Structure 1
Amino acid sequence: MQRAANEVMQSIIFSAVLDAVAALKAASGGLPNQLLRDVQAIHPNVTLGDLPKQLQDAIAESTRTAFTQLLKEGYAVGPRQQMQATRPMDRVPDRQRPGGDRRGPPGDRRPRGPRGDPNGKGPGDGPGRGPRGPGGGPSRPRKPPKGKPRLG
């Protein structure tokens, strides 16, 4: 029975995290202060080269294991262009609509305005439409201009 992709990925990530923690412990040599320093050195901008050697090896092994496990579960893993070209068509084929096309022949169709409105109105033209409330104007009053008022 094939497992869902979500379950497979959770299993892979859980194993990778456990392997990484074990590698950090091994890299500290059993010294709690060194383990704490190694953990505190991990931040969003850390690179693979900044990590201890044991942790780098654990990450590489976890990556290989993850790809192997995905393939064993029946998921395809590869470059995007290659996977899109070889993926089978999984859509439902287009089918004939009963009674023909309800919109009528192309010559009978009325021209439509913006956003496909059959009345030819654009967004905000009707009452109560659009994100700015009824009337389509600003939702708050304008501030008076700064500086000296112009006379004339």
Structure 2
Amino acid sequence: MQRPANEVMQSVVFSAVLDAMQALKKASGGLPNNMVRDIQAIHANVTFADLPKDVQDAIVESTRAAFTMLLKEGYAVGPKQQMQQSRPLDRVPERDRRPRPPGDGPRRSPRPPRGDGPGRPRGDGPGRPRGDGPGKPGGGPSGPGGPNRPRRKPKGKPRLS
């Protein structure tokens, strides 16, 4: 089973740090003062050439081991241009963009026309004046909902007038 890239990189970095620490111990020759001096010489602007030879060798070996581990786990490692060309195909196929022959009907049903229609009372549409028309409270003989909508029965006990 393939491990997540985050987990693989974490193990690569962890082993590289451990290898570098072992190399610092080896470079100091077992003398604590030399090891402290070597550690204090490492800072944000240090270059590869400034490091002790044993640490340089440990970094080179850790880099090789990291690439080997990534390849073993199934991750592709290579130059950017080469990796972009050989990308795996998408799971969702791209839709057909060729022009369709004339007479071939639409793939989807067309949208209903906007404006006044059987389900749209006057005055409810966008950009229309909101006057007293049918569909507004007190705006017509049939009440709210327009002329085609049946009246609802009132809830509760009937009132005696």
TM range (shorter): 0.5 to 0.7
- Which sections of structure 2, spanning at least 5 residues, go unmatched? 97-106, 114-161
Identity of aligned residues (%): 72
Per the alignment, residue 108 of structure 2 pairs with: 99
Can you list the C-alpha shifts for 1:62-118, whole angstroms capped at 9, x where unaligned?
Answer: 00000000000000000000000011122522459x73686x9xxxxxxxxxxxxxx
Greater share of helix: 1
C-alpha separation between the residues in 1 aligned to 2:15 and 2:52?
19
1:9-28 correspondence runs (5 A): 9-28=9-28
The number of residues matched between the two structures is 102
Report the TM-score when normalising by structure 2: 0.59
**Amino acid in structure 1 at the alignment position of 2:86:** T
Per the alignment, residue 52 of structure 2 pairs with: 52
C-alpha separation between the residues in 2 aligned to 1:27 and 1:71?
31
Per the alignment, residue 73 of structure 1 pairs with: 73
Are 2:97 and 1:88 equivalent residues in the alignment?
no
1:137-152 correspondence runs (5 A): none
- Which sections of structure 1, spanning at least 5 residues, go unmatched? 105-152
**Amino acid in structure 1 at the alignment position of 2:74:** G
C-alpha separation between the residues in 2 aligned to 1:66 and 1:76?
12
| Equivalent position SS for 2:19 | helix
Which stretches of structure 1, 4 residues or longer, exceed 4 Å deviation after superposition?
Answer: none
Structure of greater Rg: 2
TM-align CA RMSD: 2.1
Report the TM-score when normalising by structure 1: 0.62
